[in-house]
Chains A and B, each alone.
Chain A
Amino acid sequence: MPERIIESCNVKRLEVLDEKGNADESLMPSLSDEQIKKMYELLILSRTFDQRALNLQREGRLGTYASILGQEASQIGSAFALEKSDWIFPSFREMGVYITMDYPLHMLFQYWSGDERGVKCPDDLNIFPVCVPVGTQLPHAVGAAMGVKYRGDKKTVACYFGDGGTSEGDFHEGMNFAGVFKLPVVFICQNNHWAISVPREKQTASKTLAQKAFAYGFEGIQVDGNDIFAVYKAASEAVRKAKDGNGPTFIECFTYRMSDHTTADDAARYRLKEEIDSWKPKDPILRLKLFMEKKGLWNNQYQTDVENKARETVDEAVKREEAIEHPEPKDMFTFTYEKLTQRQMRQIKEL
């Protein structure tokens, strides 16, 4: 009996927009000029937010912060494909997703300043609080998708995590359930190439992260994560597929974290400057700008207006956040259980 190949796996990579701002028309997702401008404005707003957060942290006005510098297109491009009624399970590095979904900006600052009240999601959104333990949110997203399917709703669940997250057991258990039950969930992995000091190659021996989906029986695709059109296209197709009852998709956004892992980290200890420099021309904002310029959607005045608007929005959010009163110590008791326990009642009196 000869040995036979009984299964093999192909991994697709999607790129739409090149570094010079030229888009492949045959792959270009359908987006109006207004939508493209909206994307650009979200990119600028997210970057402005991020830079401000880093500054505030340096001034001691925010706690440890996880920057999204360089990953904006992966976040905004994917979140742009979602509707407000969809459910989102982020990790801790999805400020661009929160911003795209219109999460109140001052509340994001509030969270990063160490005030829990900042993650109380407004009622018209279903975006979960920052998930600090890496990879543990996947099974939750899958469970919510099980709920969507059970109720027959037309919704998708989007779940975000990093390359490091793919090493955790929960990643594999969540992916496996999603495949077995063919659930309406879109896994969005931002492969930013590093999990603190550990490079992607030391995280997994597989050549791509996208191919991991193959083992669980559904499609995985790699997209250029600095190309907002590619990310948007892959995400909107995955969302459509999920809503049509055709199961999960895994999207690997191939991107790069330009800043330190967090403000508590010093990436210079383990990353080469040349590597960082090689990613500079791939900047997601620059690329969309070049595209828009060619299309006549961008000029200097527009840039100034967008930047000013973003700065004002962020200033306003900081002002609003800093005017909020310090939380009351008793606040830490309020949400442990629905009702205080007898012992908690006594403890509150000690405060």
Chain B
Amino acid sequence: MPKLNMVQAINLALKEEMQRDKNVVLLGEDVGKDGGVFRVSEGLLDLFGHERVIDTPLAESGITGVAIGMALYGLRPVAEIQFMGFIYPAIDQIFSHASRIRARSRGRFTCPLVVRAPCGAGIKAPELHSESSEALFCHMPGIKVVVPSSPYNAKGLLISSIRDPDPVIFLESTRLYRSIKEDVPEGEYIIPLGKARVVREGKAVTLLAWGSMLHRTLQAIEDIDAEVIDLMTLKPFDEETILKSVKKTGRVVIVHEAPKTCGFGAELSATIAEDAIFHLKAPIMRVTGYDVVLPLPKLEDFYIPTTARIKKAIEEVMKY
């Protein structure tokens, strides 16, 4: 089985889905000739041609709006937004249209669209190249949000996202693109949306993370019997797996890179408080980015949650 990094795994998923279903088309800035700025779509133009791998003008609202139109017409567009910070010009299309087409047309029209975007800090990129604004999308009904944390999962989740009948925002951590390799089988396998993954079982504390923060969280546990859960899909998220774990451990630390206030951690803590508060032995802790505009490279390492901060939060909940 080939060992692939995240870029290669996503590329493989795109290739196989395009071979399987001719309705699958890619579009975005630099996705064709250049193979995407991170080379995620490398080689696909040669295989599938300009009609299915479309270099678009520089216009995120246009790309997304056009992809919505394609989806309404029955295609399965996968739109790439070059960096998550540049998805903001497309938010109008995503929020005003993609999210509500099914509801507005009472199911007559649907929007099976995937918007892929690299996200997260830590690669010393310029402004707006490092955003983690997943919570914005989670808040909007009608949208699904997927954040893979490893090559194997990225492939299976992307296949599910492409086949999903609803719009999916698929976020790829730039920091993970080439930093981990894993066995990724060729051929079809699916990781269902809406299911979390228990990465490591344990009884003392539940650690909840996704994307690149999963790895940092794993690095932070030393001799603690922690249960680590990779959410994988944030919307809809897997309440059952999370609550089951919390009921077992009674302690929770949530780790995410996005700012704390109204981050997705807030939703998780509220859910746990609502449904499992009497199982808790300690307050729920969140380790997150700060409530600031994400700093330029010289300060970004101070922004991203460190293993030290995660450890400290774990120690804190273990005191109870």
* B89 and A136 within 8 A (CB): yes
Is residue A341 contacting chain B, with contact meaning CB distance below 8 A? yes
Is residue B17 contacting chain A, with contact meaning CB distance below 8 A? no
* B292 and A333 within 8 A (CB): yes
Encode A238-275 as 1/0 by CB contact (under 8 A) with B. Answer: 00000000000000000000000000110001100000
* B298 and A326 within 8 A (CB): yes
* A133 and B291 within 8 A (CB): no
* A63 and B59 within 8 A (CB): no
* B34 and A270 within 8 A (CB): yes
* B37 and A332 within 8 A (CB): no
A133 contact set on B, CB distance < 8 A: 85-86, 88-89, 128
* Docked complex Cα distance between A116 and B126 (Å): 10
A198 contact set on B, CB distance < 8 A: 29-30, 55-58
Residue of B nearest to A114 (CB): B297
A64-B126, A133-B86 are known contacts. Are A350 and B30 too (CB-CB below 8 A)? no
Is residue B315 contacting chain A, with contact meaning CB distance below 8 A? no
A113 contact set on B, CB distance < 8 A: 297-298
* A92 and B291 within 8 A (CB): no
* A343 and B302 within 8 A (CB): no
B124 contact set on A, CB distance < 8 A: 63-64, 114
* A202 and B58 within 8 A (CB): no
Is residue B309 contacting chain A, with contact meaning CB distance below 8 A? yes
Minimum CB–CB distance for A57 against chain B, Å: 11
Is residue A351 contacting chain B, with contact meaning CB distance below 8 A? yes
Is residue B95 contacting chain A, with contact meaning CB distance below 8 A? no
Is residue B127 contacting chain A, with contact meaning CB distance below 8 A? yes
Q: Pick the contact of B299 from A64, A202, A327, A341 — CB < 8 Å?
A: A327
Residue of A nearest to B299 (CB): A332
Encode A323-351 as 1/0 by CB contact (under 8 A) with B. Answer: 00011010111011000010110010011
Is residue A195 contacting chain B, with contact meaning CB distance below 8 A? yes
Minimum CB–CB distance for B83 against chain A, Å: 9
The interface size bin for chain A is 35 or more
* B295 and A332 within 8 A (CB): yes
Is residue B165 contacting chain A, with contact meaning CB distance below 8 A? no
* B58 and A135 within 8 A (CB): yes
Is residue A297 contacting chain B, with contact meaning CB distance below 8 A? no
* B57 and A202 within 8 A (CB): yes
Minimum CB–CB distance for B297 against chain A, Å: 3
Minimum CB–CB distance for B234 against chain A, Å: 22
* A203 and B57 within 8 A (CB): yes
Stretch at the interface among A16-24, A45-53, A166-174, A176-184: A166-174
Minimum CB–CB distance for B294 against chain A, Å: 8
* Docked complex Cα distance between A170 and B59 (Å): 9
Q: Pick the contact of B290 from A170, A204, A333 — CB < 8 Å?
A: A333
* B30 and A197 within 8 A (CB): yes
Minimum CB–CB distance for A78 against chain B, Å: 22
B89 contact set on A, CB distance < 8 A: 133, 136, 168-170
Is residue A134 contacting chain B, with contact meaning CB distance below 8 A? yes
Minimum CB–CB distance for B74 against chain A, Å: 26
* A329 and B299 within 8 A (CB): yes
A115 contact set on B, CB distance < 8 A: 296, 298
Is residue A165 contacting chain B, with contact meaning CB distance below 8 A? yes
Is residue B61 contacting chain A, with contact meaning CB distance below 8 A? yes
A203 contact set on B, CB distance < 8 A: 57-58
B309 contact set on A, CB distance < 8 A: 350
* B292 and A332 within 8 A (CB): yes
B37 contact set on A, CB distance < 8 A: 196, 264-265
B30 contact set on A, CB distance < 8 A: 196-198
Minimum CB–CB distance for B186 against chain A, Å: 26
* B128 and A196 within 8 A (CB): no
Enumerate B31-49 residues with CB–CB distance to A below 8 Å.
32-35, 37
* Docked complex Cα distance between A269 and B60 (Å): 23
Enumerate A66-104 residues with CB–CB distance to B below 8 Å.
92
Encode A199-216 as 1/0 by CB contact (under 8 A) with B. Answer: 000111000000000000
Minimum CB–CB distance for A189 against chain B, Å: 13
Residue of B nearest to A131 (CB): B127
A195 contact set on B, CB distance < 8 A: 29, 58
* B291 and A341 within 8 A (CB): yes
Minimum CB–CB distance for B28 against chain A, Å: 10
* Docked complex Cα distance between A225 and B260 (Å): 47
* Docked complex Cα distance between A75 and B309 (Å): 46
Is residue A31 contacting chain B, with contact meaning CB distance below 8 A? no
B128 contact set on A, CB distance < 8 A: 132-133
Is residue A220 contacting chain B, with contact meaning CB distance below 8 A? no
* Docked complex Cα distance between A270 and B295 (Å): 32
* B62 and A169 within 8 A (CB): yes
A265 contact set on B, CB distance < 8 A: 37
Is residue A284 contacting chain B, with contact meaning CB distance below 8 A? no
Is residue B261 contacting chain A, with contact meaning CB distance below 8 A? yes
Point out residues on B near A: beta carbons under 8 Å. 29-30, 32-35, 37, 55-62, 85-86, 88-89, 124-129, 260-261, 290-293, 295-300, 302-303, 309
A-B residue pairs in contact (CB < 8 Å), sample of 20: A63-B126, A113-B297, A114-B296, A115-B296, A116-B296, A132-B127, A133-B128, A168-B58, A169-B61, A195-B29, A196-B34, A326-B298, A329-B299, A331-B295, A332-B295, A332-B299, A332-B303, A333-B292, A335-B293, A350-B309
If A170-B89, A197-B33 are given as contacts, then 14 extra A-B residue pairs at C-beta distance below 8 Å, sorted by A number, are A63-B126, A64-B125, A92-B126, A167-B58, A167-B59, A195-B29, A197-B30, A198-B57, A202-B55, A264-B37, A269-B34, A333-B292, A336-B293, A347-B291
